[in-house]
Amino acid sequence: MASTAQSYSLARPFPWEKSYPPGVDWGAPLRVGTLNELFDEACARFADLPALSYGPVTASYAELASLVDSAAAGLRALGVGPDNPLALFLPNTAWHPVLFFAALKLGGRLVHISPLDPEREIVHKLKDTGARILATTDVGAMAGAGQKLAAGLGAAGLIDTVIIGEDAFWRQGPNAPRAPAGERIVSGASLLDAVPLPASAFPKVTASDVALMQFTGGTTGLSKAALLTHGNLFATIEIYRSWGEQQGTITYGAGKVLCVLPLFHIFALSAVMLSTFQTGAELVLHPRFDPDAVITDIEQRKITFFPGVPTMWIAIVNTQGIEGRDLSSLTRLASGGAPCPVEVEQKIGKLTKLPLGGGWGMTETAPAGTGIPEHGTMRFGTIGVPLPGIFMDIVALDDPKKVLPVGEVGEIRIKGPNVVAGYHNRAEENARAFVDGYLLTGDMGTMDADGYFTIVDRKKDMIISGGFNVYPRHIEEAIYEHPAVAEVTVIGVPDGYRGEAAMAFVALKPGAEEFTLDELRAFLADKVAKYEQPAHLEFRQQLPKTAVGKLSKKELVAEERAKAAKV
């Protein structure tokens, strides 16, 4: 792999370099490569070390590589390859990394579908990406989902094959009962019966090839697939490596990383799974977040790194008896997905004697963006400074080519080797989102003289609830399907647990009767994800409008902020 450093028109040193930890160089060379190379290098270098723990099973890097090789042969027989994407409809399970890397070996593209997605969203993602092979599992709430999708979407002509990865395979061994084969249904365990292919059978994969079609609302709230290349994702891991290695915070071939964050989300995929494998640490997968299970695993397995989102940290600090639990094995912590309350950060620091690291990023940045330096005085409220190889600045809202001076509020834009190549089938969106090689993030913020960035507002109306991006327009469109609703506006309101939650303001049709929040949530159950469900409902005779008659949110936002300020 070649080495390269990014160059930009502005002269160095950049403002943020003065805030870097001692010894960290923004311009340190970043390798260019593919995720296939990253995985192969890790498996060769750390062959005998534990790579993946799920339930009672721990697989070494060599064993994980063998599973991936067998799965690749099985997937190829189903048709997965450069022109046939694989959709992963999975919670956290060992099937995810096995099928993820197996598809990449075949030159395939991955499409992540959240287990929380309603059926209409699944249909949209399959149609948009052309994915006709879907992998799921039979654990917990997912039991029966594969058969339902195979029957429903298969009959509708949207899907050819559903792979059901048996959870029992990891908990009882290869002889565990397998999913019965049926029309369009294949057992996941049966894929692993395939004889590995010779190296000559695999296509040549380059850094410019798309690895992941990751859905996001982007800068507008419309669901679309960001085309993340192997090079984008590899660059993100290189950026994290450069940031940590130069600070001396990475120890290769050691450490245990507890992952409860969903691997279908870009934060867990890159910052947790890929980074863990790149450093030769052990990835301990939990299928879901349970605070007591997390604390117990930290104590018993001697976890060294736990990344979470603010709602997880809130639950942990509020766990009864947490002060007496043994968290001494932890050497690193991280929070992402949404701003973490300062008081929670302080409680975590008191409990662990460690800073709660973090930063900012987007699906479109894979998701590297900024990092919060852990040396010196903590600056609460900022998102930190641009990571090595990444350039950011603030531009005028009415002219994204006009760079604003220090301290002025504008839109944050970003460029770097990790930034998305574009959106799938969205030529107009690409034209709006990219200017002179920069991605316009949709976040309004400032940069201070030391290069620290602070987000002050969002250009659009996106809500961040428990680490998930929630788009009011999507909820509004679903509520409009209710026969009693004349008009609806959805905004984000403060929520002590999730950070923000959706609140729906509804004006009813003449003669229509009011309904309860629970009734509304039941109506929306098959239309929006659980994390998109409104947490509050209020009826109004009229909703605020602009001078030209468009529904206006700003008055409602101001009202709710005023209420919150009085509490």
Quick one: pLDDT at residue 361?
93
d(CA 299, CA 289): 16
Mean pLDDT computed over 280-285: 98
pLDDT digits (tens, 9 = 90+) for 294-319: 999 999 999 999 999 888 888 898 89
According to DSSP, the residues that pair with 87 across neighbouring strands are 111, 134
Task: Assign domain 463-566 to a CATH class.
Answer: alpha beta
Nearest one of 278, 319, 314 to 296, comparing CA atoms? 319
Residues 6+ apart with CB under 8 A from 280: 42, 45, 46, 49, 61, 252, 253, 254
Does pLDDT of 7 surpass 90? Answer: no
Residues of the chain with pLDDT > 90, as a percent, come to 71
Quick one: pLDDT at residue 337?
73
For the chain, give every domain's residue range: 35-205, 463-566
If pLDDT is split at 50, 70 and 90, which confidence band does 397 have?
confident
Quick one: pLDDT at residue 547?
47
Task: Answer with the residue of higher pLDDT: 418 or 3.
Answer: 418
Backbone phi and psi for residue 44, each to the nearest 5 degrees, phi listed first: -75, -40
Q: State which amino acid sits at residue 57.
A: V
pLDDT digits (tens, 9 = 90+) for 411-442: 999 999 999 989 999 998 899 999 999 999 98
pLDDT digits (tens, 9 = 90+) for 8-51: 445 679 999 999 999 899 999 999 999 999 999 999 999 999 99
d(CA 354, CA 318): 18
Record the pTM.
0.85
pLDDT digits (tens, 9 = 90+) for 334-375: 988 766 777 788 889 999 999 888 889 999 999 999 998 877
Nearest one of 496, 504, 561 to 535, comparing CA atoms? 504
Quick one: pLDDT at residue 6?
42
Quick one: pLDDT at residue 567?
67
Instruction: State the chain's mean pLDDT as an integer.
Output: 91
**CATH number for the domain running over 35-205:** 3.40.50.980
Q: Position of tokens 């604003």?
A: 404
pLDDT digits (tens, 9 = 90+) for 166-203: 999 999 999 999 998 888 999 999 999 999 999 999 99
DSSP codes joined into one string, 418-457: TS---BTT-HHHHHHHEETTEEEEEEEEEE-TTS-EEEEE
Mean pLDDT computed over 456-476: 80
Backbone phi and psi for residue 371, each to the nearest 5 degrees, phi listed first: -135, 150
Quick one: pLDDT at residue 222?
54
Task: Answer with the residue of higher pLDDT: 467 or 60.
Answer: 60
If pLDDT is split at 50, 70 and 90, which confidence band does 219 have?
very low
